[in-house]
Amino acid sequence: MNRALRLAVDMDDVQAPLVSPFLDFYNPRHGTAFRAAEFKTYSLPEALGISLEDSIAEMRLFYRSGLLDKIPPYPEAQAALRILKAEGDSLYTVTSRFGEAIPVTKRWEAQNNPGIFTDIYFSANGHVGIGTLSKKIICQKLSMDAIIEDDQRYATECAEAGILAFLLERPWNEGYAGHENVFHVKDWTPIIDGLQRMRRGERPTRA
């Protein structure tokens, strides 16, 4: 008999885009032309060549802009989450958003994924040094079976703690070849397949 899983699902660039909408907000104000496809790191100070303080300030401005509410979900992510919920899995959003983004995120999930998630947890953001509990600690406390991520740093930390991670391919994790418990995937199809194997007590396979 298949067992239900406990799954952590990241928000930004997993459930919905963030880097591209943020750059649409950032570029006109600074006369720059950054593109998400060129990002090789999820660290804004490194990617934009600005200070940590300025990167935090820019994110807070974006969070307060009203644009976060209007970002549409990825259709494929939305469909996959409904499949996982129908399988009986318990789903939790685990995101490193902070400050002004917290109430917006709760509204967004209620509007776009009603009845899908058991709860939302806001972790520490390791890139800007805000918050206390890491995604790894939250996943351990909640006895998660797996996490679905795009940030290789968080995926690897969870993998090292024995939590399987599905790392969705993005420009900032291109070429990842890290921990054996991290499965680098192109889209949601191998995630659905891998989780089905886990319900049967098997280990996901690599493409």
The pTM of the full predicted model, rounded to 2 decimals, is 0.95
Q: Domain map of the chain by residue range?
A: 6-17+73-199, 19-70
Bridge-partner residues for 9, per DSSP?
93, 148
**What's the whole-number mean pLDDT along residues 103-114?**
97
CA 199 to chain centre: 22
| Range with lowest mean pLDDT among 123-127, 136-140, 193-197 | 123-127
Return the pLDDT at 2.
82
102: pLDDT confidence band, cut at 50, 70 and 90? Answer: very high
CA 99 to chain centre: 17
Give 187-194 contacts, CB < 8 A, sequence gap 24+: 187/76, 188/76, 188/77, 188/79, 188/80, 190/166, 191/80, 191/148, 191/166, 192/80, 192/83, 192/84, 194/146, 194/164, 194/166
| Range with lowest mean pLDDT among 19-28, 41-50, 80-89, 190-199 | 41-50
Q: 1.10.760.10, 3.40.50.1980, 3.30.470.30, 3.40.50.1000: which CATH number matches 6-17+73-199?
A: 3.40.50.1000
Compute the distance between CA of residue 97 and CA of residue 130 in angstroms, rounded to an integer.
Answer: 9
Residue 130 has pLDDT above 80, yes or no: no
103: pLDDT confidence band, cut at 50, 70 and 90? Answer: very high
Return the pLDDT at 207.
67
- Position with higher pLDDT, 187 vs 127: 187
Residue 47 has pLDDT above 70, yes or no: yes
Residue 157 has pLDDT above 80, yes or no: yes
